[in-house]
Amino acid sequence: MLNVCQSEPLVEKKKFSFAVEYARYDDIKRIYKTFHIDSLTEQYGSLVEAQGMIVAQEADEFRVQIRNCTHGQTEVHFTSCI
């Protein structure tokens, strides 16, 4: 008997990174919950530096929400995943 392997459709993702003040990071963590984010890493120094992967279709809205949350002070940088 042959077993059939089900696979999930491929989903294009983008890598993101940004740095933000500690005072805004709790709000940003709430934003994370509304998106499909993987491989999130955080480094804590004078700012919180965050990196991760997000579904490509959600990238623009994610950028808008982060900028709105930080009153335009934080820029999210994206690179394509190969």
Range of the domain at 43: 13-80
Q: Is residue 5 part of a domain?
A: no
Strand-strand pairing, 48-55 and 77-80: unpaired
Assign residue 75 the CATH number of its domain. 3.30.70.240
Q: Is the pTM of this model over 0.85?
A: no
Q: Is residue 51 part of a domain?
A: yes
> How does pLDDT run across 15-32, given as a tens digit for each residue?
999 999 999 999 999 999
What local confidence, expressed as pLDDT, does residue 2 receive?
61
What local confidence, expressed as pLDDT, does residue 10 receive?
80
Please say if the pLDDT value at position 80 is more than 80: yes
Please say if the pLDDT value at position 13 is more than 70: yes
What local confidence, expressed as pLDDT, does residue 53 receive?
96
CB-CB contact of 53 with 37 (8 Å): yes
